[in-house]
Chain A
Amino acid sequence: MQTWSELSETQPTIARVLQNSVRRGRLAHAYLFEGGRGTGRRAAALLLARAFLCEKTVDAEPCLVCRECRRAESGNHPDVHRIQPDGQTIKVDQIRALKKEFSMRGMESAKKVYIIEETETMSAAAANSLLKFLEEPEGEALAVLITASAGQILPTILSRAQVMSFSPLPPDRVTKALVERGFREKEARTAASLTSDLEEAERMFDEEWISQGREKVVQLMNDLISRPQDAYITVHETIMPFFTDRQQIQTALDLMMIWYRDVLRMQVGQSDAVVYIDQEDTLTKQAFQLSQQKLGKNLQAVMDAKRRAGANVPPQLLVEQLLLRLQEGS
């Protein structure tokens, strides 16, 4: 993403606000970009930084050829600071260092930019020590905070920044793009519903990972209804060896979530909105057997499991407990 017009294809509102701000010289000193993976937050942050630094902007578009633009892109600009989590969190010392850096004049011009990635990982101390600085920075500073969900950020930070919510790309778009690159539709759809990041989706196709994982989850969901006793064996023999790390368990849970969503869609007669397009028979069958209330409960169970997966629960226990809950009362 190099220009505002490119950004406006996917995020029209945000592109318009930012471009107009640059054009009219009313750029705020702090922005918070919120949105899921692959929505273009990072690229937009870079674009904003360039538009802010570039000396030869044409109608708020950065020229992309001047020294400032090129160095900002390559990450060599001395006045563009990036902060990333040091380990699990962003530490208070990182913010202190940043503040110290900003108490000095810019290397070349008076303008300085800082971009904080994964802002939600800031420790409480770090977040609080950013507050004063965020509100009234010294000199001409531009802050861009990037986060996955604004709900996890201190309200006092939110109110100091202009919050831009990046909306997720419609899955259809990603599906289409994937199909165009030669992937099968049924898998493309699944991948697209898992992430809106095209590159990440493509990575899922490495060694057919997604199609295998998909098959396995489908098998489990099938077993749950038709052979409830065998489901535990399925988990042990196929699911656990395949979805090994925490991230992959999350994906497996996502796949289950999508499954139940599909069943629900089937039940209310929206078969065109289904993700598992090749499983229509099984979905229809399950749609008859599960009441909506039960489906709601199942979805809730998967959600709970997802949250626990983020909190260091052993995956095996997690999935088994989930199965018990899914079979509850059935």
Chain B
Amino acid sequence: MSYQALYRVWRPHTLKDIAGQDHITKTLKNALVQQKLSHAYLFTGPRGTGKTSAAKILAKAVNCRHAPAEEPCNECDICRGISDGSIVDVMEIDAASNNGVDEIRDIRDKVRFAPNTAAYKVYIIDEVHMLTTGAFNALLKTLEEPPPHVMFILATTEPHKIPLTIISRCQRFDFKRITSHAMLARMQEIVAADEIAVEEDALSLVARVSQGGMRDALSLLDQAVSFAEGTITKEDILAIIGSVSQEHLYELVEAVHSGSVGEALKMIDEMMQTGKDANRLMEDVIFLLRDILMVKAAPQLEESQDRLHGDDSFRELSEKLEQAWLFQMMEKLNHFQQEMKWATHPQLFLEMFAVQASQQTTALPASGESAPQSSTVEALEQKIVHLERTVQKLQREGVPAASQPQAAEQPVKQEKRSRNTGPSQKSRAVAKQVERMLEHATKPQLQQVKSSWGNVLEQVKKQSMPASAWLNDCQPTAASEEYVVLVFRNEMHRSMIDEKFRELVESSASQQFGAAVTLLTILEADWEKVKENFKKRQKTSPSGEDNEESGEEAPPEEEKNPLIDEAVRLVGEDLLEIKE
């Protein structure tokens, strides 16, 4: 005899072995003892919950030599005969392959004959949902009033496909998904009997992922026994189902929640590279969020206590996430999970989830609890941002103007001059500002600006189409906490944005980045120069000269620049050779 899978070996043979279906086993036991059996039963429920097993046990129990008793003895000749299929009075019919009217007619004809050896003729019709309409209807009369020695047991996973006329003629038993608690108990029994070494954690994980199907759980356990060397650990199970550890999940959820798409994408990439299953990951995230929701909603529940106990990072995470966010995420995840099942690139859905979910974080405050007021709130927010900016401007430019009239005059003059002398000069004036600002510019800031620049564009577009058209040509190239440098290729575009649409763009940007932002607009050519200068200074400053000195170094170049620029304008860059 070849090896038999655990779930076949451990198919329950008595009613008490059926895990987690007490409401059914109790009823059946009482019916058996009191001899109040119906002539037709319908067992329904999801896969792996014990329908077929219960049917087989019931067939044995009614025919057992020791009947009436709660359980079949599994020892008498009849019980054994039924088990090995040598007694023809118990017939197990696969309705999926014998689904025609003819097969049912055959049953109907033979029903009348008395049983051979056993007391009852029992017909177990499995997968009964596959019968054709004709077959169902042919069965109706027989099912309602069979001869006294006949019993029908119908079993199916899809009760909605069964005609109501059939259902109403049967005693219906709904098998529930087995709770992880009941599953755990049954598995422990099996593990102990089979002498399989397995960690407690691993078992509860198995119970969790098999979602109430005992057969799934035992299949997985079977694989784990083959996979593991020695004791089965949690890691073994994780490896087999292609799942990631809880810690990684926490990190992923946190990244998504904090809105860092880049990080989340990187994590997903890494997980996929190591051969994790995208579907499984999606499911894990859903379950994690569900757990957090549960802990938040009902912290006193036993299950939530269990979950919180001894898992600090879980507690931390659950405190960080808001309920509204969780609900939205669950909805999204469910949607994606549905789509994912049919897709050939499941990873992409994960990535899309990461992108969309991260967006949610930034959009949440506006669409949070006071949805009807959101537009007014938004308007107020904008106003505040606007005010903030003016205050900052005043602080920066207005206050020194009082103390140092010279310095205040200069920008005014510059501005005047720039208006008179033409556009490129203005850009250069900004260039100076840009240079100063570069000292504070940081890479992460720029990254943040770059990644949400699209949002700014969209917002601008909402308010003014022409503004967004002018903006199309530019690129953010540097950013500090209060400044964003925009590089334009075309002077016309630059000046339009600088003069006409500055307010609009700045307010959208400020809103997007959550802090007041001032725009510095500059032409591409000037930007290149500024960059060069800055790089030069960067190189020279570590070699002894400190910042102030390098600050002094800038002005002479500033002097020089207009001349060269003028020359460039006159004869073109190609013909010029600059000598110091």
Contact = CB atoms under 8 A, between A and B. Distances in A.
B123 to A, nearest CB: 15
Interface in B259-279: 261-262, 265-266, 269, 272-273, 275-277, 279
Interface of B: 2-5, 8, 46-48, 92, 94, 96-97, 99, 126-127, 129-130, 157, 213, 215-216, 219, 222-223, 225-227, 239-240, 242, 261-262, 265-266, 269, 272-273, 275-277, 279-280, 339-346, 348-349, 351-352, 355-356, 358-359, 447, 450-455, 457-458, 472, 475-476
A12 B239 CA distance: 10
Looking at A36, A95, A125, A264, which has the most chain B CB atoms within 10 Å of its CB? Answer: A264
Contact of A293 (B225, B341, B455): B455
A36 B457 contact: no
A250 to B, nearest CB: 9
A156 B47 contact: yes
A149 B223 contact: no
24 contacts: A11-B275, A20-B226, A20-B227, A27-B3, A30-B5, A130-B96, A132-B92, A133-B94, A150-B279, A151-B341, A156-B157, A159-B47, A160-B215, A160-B219, A161-B219, A165-B280, A167-B272, A257-B345, A267-B450, A292-B355, A292-B451, A293-B359, A296-B352, A303-B339
Contacts of A21: 226
A292 B359 contact: yes
Given A149-B342, A268-B265, A17 B455 contact: no
Contact of B130 (A28, A128, A162, A267): A128
A269 B448 CA distance: 9
B94 A26 contact: no
A131 B3 CA distance: 20
Contact of A162 (B97, B223, B262, B453): B223
A269 B355 contact: no
A265 interface: yes
Decide if the interface of chain B is mainly helix, strand, loop or mixed. helix
A282 interface: no
Contact of B96 (A20, A27, A128, A288): A128
B342 A152 contact: yes
Contacts of A156: 47, 157
Interface of A: 11-13, 16-18, 20-21, 24-30, 36, 92, 95-96, 99, 125, 128-133, 135-136, 140, 148-152, 155-156, 158-163, 165, 167-168, 170, 254, 257, 261, 264-265, 267-270, 273, 285, 287-296, 299-300, 303, 306-307
Looking at A18, A152, A289, which has the most chain B CB atoms within 10 Å of its CB? Answer: A289
A43 B418 CA distance: 74
B97 A129 contact: yes
B455 A291 contact: yes
B351 A26 contact: no
Given A159-B213, A269-B447, A295-B355, 12 more contacts: A25-B3, A99-B97, A125-B96, A132-B94, A159-B216, A257-B345, A268-B261, A268-B262, A299-B351, A299-B355, A303-B349, A303-B352
Contact of A273 (B240, B269, B475): B269
